[in-house]
Chain A
């Protein structure tokens, strides 16, 4: 059967100075001012370099990037449906395996990278993503998480936090908190059920060198890898465009986001504060949470407190489902 072809051996960037000045995700795209996912895209592209093939399932990072028959990518890029990034990546990887084996492609296996939003990763795109992870294709799946279907006008997704006001979860008399559900845990979905996966990480655009190194580490692994990247969205979360990085940092400081790596069953944590700040500070900076009462914020704090007991590792969380009373 198929012999594995040579994969990447990318060097870690030790400091900001070692981050390449060269761009692969080029200036000239229609993303919003201060767009978190665009920043994520830029950093991921610096990590991969040009020997890469990127797949863009439908979402902000497709629609706002390719408008009007032009594109901002210096490496090969292909649109996929929001449903099938993982499957198209599987097909490309399988094709390269056989083309290299038969001597029809002379280089080594390119970095095959899916840049999927939260919907394209763990909602409508979950099946294809899981298929790619299960089958062990040598490709990287990146979930740039802006916590909503932002491209279509900020609708709730499984990554949208409890209490967020989205255009599908508007707060009202009957449903005062807006979004009533707690989010899916993307990394645990991948870690929990895919024996071919050896590396999963979370990253934040507020820590670019760490983000770049995690992407490179993921690419250096043979087989499928998953990196979940927190990418604040000024338009959807309703904060000032200049605060994208500040909001992302605050998420780390309050425990709303935890940076960790999972390598062959071992967890390591990065950027853990000595003491977590209350989540209220994070929530109050974003208009999407403006309607919440103290009781709602306390519910969120309880959820985060439980999660932080063992970040990344599943623990029983005090979450009430919508059908429980």
Chain B
């Protein structure tokens, strides 16, 4: 029987990992994700989880240990935050290119400067092009569920890709919520043991990662790209099975909130969705037809689902929570993806972006109201005046 607990995102991730029966864990402390490893180390110390708990000497080592373990055929789990995520950058491509489906929990943290502990998605968004599956949870329950689902997706023979299982630092990682912890037996039925198709095993020797002819480079890149093209179908299946097995109600790619008659929507990832839902409720009370669409997977980016969903509205505002300095839209990353997805839609809605949720800042209700003002105008005019609004600073 599933039991209910009151857990923050970090503990919830740890329970998700335990239920997934991770076999090798590699740790290194950095706030805020540290809580995941503190919880897991207790579970291992108490004998509740039979795993090797390896204290990496840094994040670079953590990821190396994890993909090494995965290469040997074990289910491996690691995690990090902020500059720790970027310190390990070298190791992401070898793990993805070697098709080693280890999982890395991310509790986001702003990069330095500003030198604070707050959440901002730029850390792991910097690694979005390395060939890892990635997406954000919005609350502790989804953290636990995603942890289990990501192993199922990443280890699928059609996929074999490592995963960034992300949650916002503090907003999700440290704010407790009700979490239904599934029964181990039910998880075992859902998630079969990891079966590496090409392990480092002396009884069937292989060579992993040799040099290639330059001409073979595109072919090997195509292979990884193709895995991402095949992944959405696997995600759909894994989410459907999960919903059935555990009685949840996830849409594979998008959470839509009050969108049936919405004129405009906030488009975002992660924990700020919880404030966004309140903001939408309040705006509705004032007669403003606002809605919210939350992205559940950044990679693979669900192009068709996003195009289909967002083309229904008169205006879209992305809430960036990450930076892309000097990018095409002069602000964040999300708008690039959204505008690209909408490019071939007839009469696409105007899309602008909001720089908010940076450096750990809370995206307040007031800020949502000021964004709503911009989007109401855009819906009326059928165009946007700016690619990007720095919320609280740009005049609206």
Contacts and interface: CB of A to CB of B under 8 A. Distances in A.
Q: Do A and B have CB atoms closer than 8 angstroms in the complex?
A: yes
Interface of A: 2, 50-53, 62-63, 66-71, 73-81, 83-84, 86-92, 94-99, 101-102, 104-105, 107, 110, 127-128, 130-131, 134-135
Contact of A91 (B66, B202, B203, B207): B66
B64 A91 contact: yes
Contacts of B98: 78
B197 interface: no
Contacts of A78: 68, 71, 98, 200, 207-209
Interface string B218-238: 000000000000000000000
Main secondary structure of the interface of B (DSSP, over half): mixed
Contact of B68 (A70, A88, A107, A131): A88
A84 B73 contact: no
B52 interface: yes
A108 to B, nearest CB: 10
A144 to B, nearest CB: 18
A161 B90 CA distance: 30
A26 to B, nearest CB: 11
B91 A95 contact: no
Nearest to A88: B68
A63 B58 CA distance: 26
Given A87-B60, A91-B68, A107-B203, 10 more contacts: A51-B202, A63-B211, A67-B210, A68-B211, A77-B205, A78-B209, A84-B91, A91-B64, A92-B68, A130-B57
Given A50-B202, A52-B202, A69-B216, A91 B50 contact: no
Nearest to A82: B90
Nearest to B220: A69
B201 A76 contact: yes
B23 interface: yes
13 contacts: A52-B202, A70-B210, A76-B207, A81-B91, A84-B64, A91-B69, A94-B54, A95-B24, A97-B52, A104-B193, A107-B202, A131-B57, A131-B61
Interface string B342-353: 000000000000
A95 B57 contact: no
B85 interface: no
A32 to B, nearest CB: 16
Contact of B69 (A81, A94, A105, A130): A94
B378 interface: no
Nearest to B47: A1
A75 B202 contact: yes
A92 B71 contact: yes
Nearest to B200: A76
Contacts of A90: 54, 61, 64-65, 68
Contact of B56 (A52, A53, A110, A131): A131
